[in-house]
Amino acid sequence: MKIKTPTILALTLFACSAAALNAASVTIASTDGAYIRNANALNTPTETNFLVGQTTTASDHLRGLFTFDLTNSGVDFSQVTIDSVTITLTTSREDANSLNSDVALNLYELTQDYDRASTTWTVAETGTAWTKPGGTYDSNALLTTVSANPGAITTGSTITLSGQALIDVVSANASGSADFILKLADENYTNREIFFFANSGAGAPTITINYTAIPEASSFGLLGGALGLAILFLGRRFKRS
């Protein structure tokens, strides 16, 4: 007996739609971005940009801090399977004085709380110093890296960072916030290499989390029953043929 193509197609679509039914995505914007600079006790609570890079002065580094409150998503990430995580940064201005060549930016998890209103190169929040000046992070736990050209990147361009390590960070901080620090991979030069990223508004840093909900046991039962009926229907057609 030859099974009609529409029947095969219907069953295939049914199976695929059931599998895809629980796939979803959520995007969260950062509201606590800041940058710190070791050349002075700089604090930038009202800045609409955050800077990452270095100036022509030796050891004058700029590092960006940003955090995502995962509880604002409406999703309990401890109860889903996280498929991918992508952080998107949007450039807010150009800097023609910067080196016209690709440089690497490294992303790490920030492991100490900070207060945007008071953080500096040495201070995490009022009354509390960074355990490690310049932001506390594990230099051996690089999350991901990306290359970009600070002297040629245009306003409104985006830089994206992703990878398994970001999935791990979101999973580990499912009921709280995920905090990050972005810096030059190599801070040992005196070239001007400065990126200006939007810190608020439509261009604020975002984290996009693609996930799959874990179905309730009852859902598996309904799916199994439906598939069983489909197979029974197909079997009867086979007998009649």
117: Cβ–Cβ under 8 A, 6 or more apart, which residues?
43, 45
Residue 1 domain-assigned (yes or no)? no
226: Cβ–Cβ under 8 A, 6 or more apart, which residues?
14, 18
- For position 224, what pLDDT does the model report? 52
Angle at 87 between CA 82 and CA 93, to 5 degrees: 170
Contact 45, 180 (CB under 8 A): no
- For position 239, what pLDDT does the model report? 55
Domain that holds residue 158: 25-217
- For position 40, what pLDDT does the model report? 77
Backbone angles phi, psi at 189, to 5 degrees: -110, 175
Residue 231 domain-assigned (yes or no)? no
- For position 105, what pLDDT does the model report? 99
* pTM of the predicted protein model: 0.82
- For position 199, what pLDDT does the model report? 92
Lookup result for tokens 């996280």: 82
Residue 70 domain-assigned (yes or no)? yes
CATH code of the domain containing 103: 2.60.120
Number of domains in the chain: 1
Dist. CA 162–CA 174, nearest whole Å: 17
Residue 206 domain-assigned (yes or no)? yes
Q: Which of 95, 116, 93, 90 is nearest to 202 (CA)?
A: 90
Residue 131 domain-assigned (yes or no)? yes
Residue 85 domain-assigned (yes or no)? yes
Total residues belonging to the chain: 241
Residue 108 domain-assigned (yes or no)? yes
pLDDT by residue, tens only, the chain of 241 residues: 444 544 544 444 444 444 455 899 999 999 888 999 998 777 766 678 999 999 999 999 999 999 999 998 999 998 999 999 999 999 999 999 999 999 999 999 999 999 998 999 999 999 999 999 999 999 999 999 999 999 999 999 999 999 999 999 999 999 999 999 999 999 998 999 999 999 988 899 999 999 999 876 544 454 555 455 555 555 555 455 5
Residue 36 domain-assigned (yes or no)? yes
Reduced to 3 states (helix: H, G, I; strand: E, B; else coil), residue 214 is coil
Amino acid at 100: N
